[in-house]
Chain A
Amino acid sequence: MNSKPAMSYFTVLTFIIKRELTLAYRHKDDVLNPILFFIIVVTLFPLGIGPATNTLATIAPGVIWVAALLATLLSLDRIFKSDFNDGSLEQMLLSPHPTYIIVLGKVAAHWLITGLPLIFIAPVLAVSLHLDDNAYNAMMLTLLLGTPVLSFIGAIGAALTVRLKNGGVILSLLVLPLFIPVLIFATSTINTAAMNLPYQGQLAIIAALLVGAVTLAPFAISSALKVSTN
């Protein structure tokens, strides 16, 4: 028995992320659609509510975060689906590397593909919603810490529904209630920042949620994948 693994955990992780990014580069539509969706949803709110600057400024944090939740939800289906369909997911689970690392790599790649672009576009949309000037830093920080949590929690739902033909609707029913704490703390961080008050406390809670999600969610995801693939 060779006690030394063929690849270190870090190599496996980077390998998986690279593979996912290459795949995403080849299917650009899948990457662009959630981002377009994010922009359009945010645009709909001023049209529905009216162009009054004050109203828009009060609802801006909530609108941006709800749109981010929905955009993440839209992109969740593709985390495991195509790999499940062509059998490569089963191969990955059968490989000697721990499923924890594999799942971590897949979720990290999902965040890089869908979460990170949202963070870059959000300030532009915030300008159009007249977000308070003090709140931009807080908004960027909450998105930076919060969207990975969404990816992790969402991946649990995606892993549970990967076998179902039309799992999309069920996926949203499973995942959206679990997104609520992130939404609450993120919007309240931004609102506190807009009032020029210290917001580090709320930010720390989001960071704690992120740490909890990184440590616990991969276990739930891998056991869900094991149920789905056998």
Chain B
Amino acid sequence: MWKWLHPYANPETSYHLVGKLIPWFAVVSGALLTIGLFWGLLFAPPDYQQGDSFRIFYLHVPAASLSMGIYLGMAIAAFCGLVWQLRLAGAAVAAMAPVGAVFTAIALISGAAWGKPMWGTWWIWDARLTSELILLFLYLGVMALNSAFDDKIAAGKSAGILALVGVINLPIIKYSVEWWNTLHQGATVSKLGKPSMTLDMFYPFVFCFLGFAFLSAVIICIRFQSQILQHNVTRPWVKKLVTVEENKHAV
């Protein structure tokens, strides 16, 4: 049943497949982001409570949900790598970690910039913010471990184990932080209720979310390609590929 998938475990096949996907993903992401951001920033109606500051929503929420989605993807790749001994999985983990870290950082920064006008402070030790910050630390740990090894295969495997340990810990951390927060929070910050979102506010969000998702896919694919090359330096196909591209540049 899964036989059709086997050729893609070959680094050369996946390298070329990913290479073909990158331009398509880039075009789709560019189009969706252009539509979504113009719509969200210019045409969507302002929120009745938050005014125009709510337009940060179109950046903040996609970034926050993708930061968690990429971690999940990384953990799934790590799991496949450990169970089926796929070497490509190490490359995938290494490719996803920096992208996820950037999305987490953007979620934190935009959250702070949204919190200042709404809550009157850049940072509160709110459960969501704190667990997002810890997620950033987990990403940075995976990146640091991955770059600490000279041997690329060992690096991929170690980073994979850490990503899996992190994904088991993530619910515990989230639960503990939420619980800690309800105990410690003196002045309750009103979460401004859940504003019922109208459709003309919601459609641009869908565009933005998909646009950012494809953007992350583009960057992950590029990084995945260079990881594959670094994993397979001695293979004949890499030599051939690199020399062919070098000659193209020379001409």
Contact A164 B148 (CB under 8 A): yes
Knowing A170-B144, A177-B141, the reply to whether A216 touches B161 (Cβ < 8 A) is no
Contact B140 A181 (CB under 8 A): no
Contact B183 A188 (CB under 8 A): yes
Contact B148 A170 (CB under 8 A): yes
CA distance A164 to B157 in the complex (A): 14
A54 within 8 Å of B (CB atoms): no
A184 within 8 Å of B (CB atoms): yes
B164 within 8 Å of A (CB atoms): yes
Q: Given the complex, which residues of A lie within 8 Å of B141, measured CB to CB?
A: 170, 173-174, 177
B72 within 8 Å of A (CB atoms): no
B232 within 8 Å of A (CB atoms): no
Knowing A156-B165, A173-B137, A177-B134, the reply to whether A184 touches B144 (Cβ < 8 A) is no
Knowing A170-B148, A173-B144, A227-B154, the reply to whether A180 touches B173 (Cβ < 8 A) is yes
Knowing A216-B168, A223-B82, the reply to whether A181 touches B176 (Cβ < 8 A) is yes
Contact B158 A173 (CB under 8 A): no
- Interface size class for chain B? 20 to 34
Contact A180 B134 (CB under 8 A): yes
In the complex, which residue of chain B has the Cβ closest to the Cβ of A156?
Answer: B165
Contact B157 A220 (CB under 8 A): no
B177 within 8 Å of A (CB atoms): yes
Q: Which of A188, A220, A230 contacts B165 (CB 8 A)?
A: A220
7 A-B pairs closest in CB distance = A181-B176, A177-B137, A174-B141, A227-B157, A184-B180, A184-B176, A181-B172
Q: Which of A167, A209, A220, A227 contacts B148 (CB 8 A)?
A: A167
Q: Given the complex, which residues of A lie within 8 Å of B175, measured CB to CB?
A: 181
Q: Which of A160, A180, A230 contacts B145 (CB 8 A)?
A: A160
In the complex, which residue of chain A has the Cβ closest to the Cβ of B155?
Answer: A227
CB < 8 Å A-B pair total:
70
Q: Chain B 109-149 against A: per-residue CB contact (8 Å), 1 yes, 0 no?
A: 00000000000000000000000001001101100110011
Contact B161 A224 (CB under 8 A): yes
Q: Given the complex, which residues of A lie within 8 Å of B168, measured CB to CB?
A: 216
Distance to closest chain B CB from A76 (angstroms): 14
Distance to closest chain B CB from A75 (angstroms): 20
Q: Which of A173, A174, A220 contacts B164 (CB 8 A)?
A: A220
Chain A residues within 8 Å of chain B by Cβ, number: 25
CA distance A170 to B148 in the complex (A): 8
B204 within 8 Å of A (CB atoms): no
A163 within 8 Å of B (CB atoms): yes
A interface list, Cβ under 8 A from B: 156, 160-161, 163-164, 167, 170, 173-174, 176-178, 180-181, 184-185, 188, 209, 216, 220, 223-224, 227-228, 230
Contact B138 A177 (CB under 8 A): yes
B interface list, Cβ under 8 A from A: 82, 134, 137-138, 140-141, 144-145, 148-149, 154, 157-158, 161-162, 164-166, 168-169, 172-173, 175-177, 179-180, 183
Q: Given the complex, which residues of B lie within 8 Å of A173, measured CB to CB?
A: 137, 140-141, 144
Residue with the greatest number of chain B CB neighbours at <10 A, chosen from A164, A173, A188, A227: A227
Distance to closest chain B CB from A165 (angstroms): 9
Q: Given the complex, which residues of B lie within 8 Å of A180, measured CB to CB?
A: 134, 173, 176-177
Knowing A188-B183, A220-B164, the reply to whether A178 touches B144 (Cβ < 8 A) is no
CA distance A164 to B138 in the complex (A): 19
Contact B144 A174 (CB under 8 A): yes
Q: A156-B161, A177-B141 are in contact. List 17 more A-B contacts (CB 8 A).
A: A156-B165, A160-B145, A160-B161, A164-B148, A170-B148, A174-B141, A174-B162, A178-B169, A180-B134, A180-B173, A181-B172, A184-B180, A188-B179, A223-B82, A227-B154, A227-B161, A230-B154
Q: Given the complex, which residues of A lie within 8 Å of B173, measured CB to CB?
A: 177-178, 180-181
Q: List 5 A-B contacts (CB under 8 A).
A: A156-B161, A177-B141, A184-B180, A188-B179, A220-B164
Q: Given the complex, which residues of B lie within 8 Å of A224, measured CB to CB?
A: 158, 161
Contact B172 A160 (CB under 8 A): no
Q: Given the complex, which residues of A lie within 8 Å of B166, measured CB to CB?
A: 177-178
CA distance A184 to B134 in the complex (A): 13
CA distance A220 to B164 in the complex (A): 9
Q: Given the complex, which residues of B lie within 8 Å of A181, measured CB to CB?
A: 169, 172-173, 175-176
Distance to closest chain A CB from B136 (angstroms): 9
CA distance A164 to B180 in the complex (A): 35
Contact B165 A164 (CB under 8 A): no
